[in-house]
Structure 1
């Protein structure tokens, strides 16, 4: 009798996963999956963009080049999808979710997008949003041991009320919140919020007002560029940035397209809620965090602590759980 595979939820990272330590990781880990790289490289070349292989095999990490929106997006998508291909047969994948740009990787993993055509969309969306207005800031909602700090949330609420129509909740990310807004509003918030750990509030360099109404023009361009013909019924349940579950055969592809290129672009992305719904509804044995890197680790741990999942209730208990041989959260970007 064959051994039953552990059930798993796949979690796809957003921007910021591919950094200097990840240079060369795609070529090093995925030589056997070169056919994907070749196909993506051909698409990127036809778009006049640097290829994934060219970027990944560069002799040194060039911050300006590698973190340029269209290059960073391609590297993150490629690394994540190849991680998924490497592990999908070892687990019973019960659902897929992701953070922000990770929604695009999730759509490919779930079979909604053709994985090669998806590189075109990922590149186009990076270009589409690169010249968007505004800025983005990150601020903690918990202390160093992941315990909620109501006064931090109160300070955020006060700023949102004070700067209506200029400041917006962008991403709920475990123990953090990202705010988007006009450059004036973000600078004002950065000057007024309490200083935490000599790091926060932190304005994110090179970020526009993602997941806010200031992205409406980018949303309209995306809807004009990408028709419903690019969407297929998902082969796996998908949990989006509202916590909504898309599950065949009941998915209206026009609705899925509308969410992907409208709400997902121009409204709040609640990654915390997405992960809570995924864990509660699908009760996995494992959470598989795709690479590159381990940018998801803290936010996932903080969310599990909020849920008191498997007796994880703070940072210390999460670290202890992760030190076990049967750790529930596996960061594939670290393997």
Structure 2
């Protein structure tokens, strides 16, 4: 019996210490794929993906760099996408932030090698420019009830800070029950001073992250368009849901518009991952939401996005955990037990 699924591709911050060795652990049979990526890195004088994955030690300063994290995450996720069980029918593909590039490859709009070129190039450009930074702050209760008034207040605070001279701050990613904010040092510092600390970790700065999905990234977007040709792109074979919640239906959009959205719009405008997940649920009604590895950190944001629309009666953290224990609806391939449910 076929199981329908929406495939969700991860963004930055998902290849951490626990993920070191992910490729060798799960994808020793994908040698041809990984070797092709290694050859592309070798050609530009970069350390190979295989060598990075096989290192003895994980270093935050190294492995959070855009030119290191991005290719590792891409290789892990695209290999996972190719390892799904035969009874899984992918009805749509989406991703979080950098995960949009992976989604393009998983949906067939980019070949695996073209997708790697896009990710590796954008990861390099982001690291070279490293404009601004990001932080994360919650807008929900600990039982996953979205506080809409508080969310509005926080976004108003962001807008107010951005009006100050030399302060730049804006929404970067709407991430389930979290707001990812991005801006320059003055803007981020002002927000941190204005909000109370929560759960002993928020507001949380993200290491080696630039001000993704804001106008600060316009130079990076322009450089990406200059280096990455439309010829890399083709028509998607599966429906894609982008960072606005818009569905790209196979055959309904031009390659030029997909290229321009990918290397302009989504680089410089906020990414609404929450909306993408909710559209996936409401428009495709899948049996499963499968999150490609590495890591498992995106599972919470997916679950929180579903709770916000009371998907199949999921009205909070407790209801979601009960459902997961009985009949999982969100499956993270970075979790060995969950991976076994959906992989070959």
What TM-score range do you get, normalising by the shorter chain? over 0.9
Are positions 1:46 and 2:43 aligned together?
Answer: yes
Are positions 1:146 and 2:144 aligned together?
Answer: yes
Q: Deviations over 1:155-174 (max 9, x none)?
A: 31232231236211100000
Q: 1:242 matched to which residue of 2?
A: 244
Tell me if structure 2 keeps the 8 A contact 1:44–1:120. no
Tell me if structure 2 keeps the 8 A contact 1:132–1:215. no
Q: 1:191 matched to which residue of 2?
A: 193
Q: How many residues are matched?
A: 331
Q: 1:33 matched to which residue of 2?
A: 30
Tell me if structure 1 keeps the 8 A contact 2:162–2:187. no
Distance 2:335 2:317 in 1: 19
Distance 1:121 1:242 in 2: 20
Using the TM superposition, give the Cα deviation of residue 88 of structure 1 relative to its aligned residue in structure 2, in angstroms: 5.8
Tell me if structure 2 keeps the 8 A contact 1:39–1:116. yes
Using the TM superposition, give the Cα deviation of residue 62 of structure 1 relative to its aligned residue in structure 2, in angstroms: 2.3
* Aligned partner of residue 241 in structure 1, secondary structure: coil
Aligned residues: CA RMSD:
1.2
Tell me if structure 1 keeps the 8 A contact 2:244–2:271. yes
Q: Deviations over 1:166-202 (max 9, x none)?
A: 2111000000011111110111101101221121111
TM-score (norm 1): 0.96
Tell me if structure 2 keeps the 8 A contact 1:135–1:181. yes
Using the TM superposition, give the Cα deviation of residue 284 of structure 1 relative to its aligned residue in structure 2, in angstroms: 0.3
Are positions 1:260 and 2:258 aligned together?
Answer: no
* Aligned partner of residue 82 in structure 2, secondary structure: helix
Runs of 4 or more off by more than 6 Å in structure 1?
A: none
Match of 2:96 among 71, 76, 99: 99
TM-score (norm 2): 0.93
Q: 1:176 matched to which residue of 2?
A: 178
Using the TM superposition, give the Cα deviation of residue 8 of structure 1 relative to its aligned residue in structure 2, in angstroms: 0.5
Are positions 1:331 and 2:328 aligned together?
Answer: no
The equivalences for 1:46-65 within 5 A come to 46-65=43-62
Are positions 1:125 and 2:122 aligned together?
Answer: yes
Tell me if structure 1 keeps the 8 A contact 2:291–2:331. yes
* Aligned partner of residue 162 in structure 2, secondary structure: coil
Q: Deviations over 1:24-79 (max 9, x none)?
A: 12111111111101111111111111111101111121222222211110110011
Q: Deviations over 1:243-300 (max 9, x none)?
A: 0111111111111011000011010000000111111101101110110010211101
Q: 2:157 matched to which residue of 1?
A: 159
Q: Deviations over 1:106-146 (max 9, x none)?
A: 00001111101221221110111122321111110101100
Q: 1:5 matched to which residue of 2?
A: 2
135-144 or 63-72, which deviates more: 63-72
Distance 1:205 1:65 in 2: 10
Tell me if structure 2 keeps the 8 A contact 1:190–1:203. no
Distance 1:64 1:313 in 2: 39
Could you say if the C-alpha distance between residues 117 and 254 of structure 1 is closer, same or farther in structure 2, counting changes exceeding 3 Å? same
Gaps of 5+ in 2: 337-344
Distance 1:164 1:188 in 2: 10
Q: Deviations over 1:195-215 (max 9, x none)?
A: 211211112222111100000
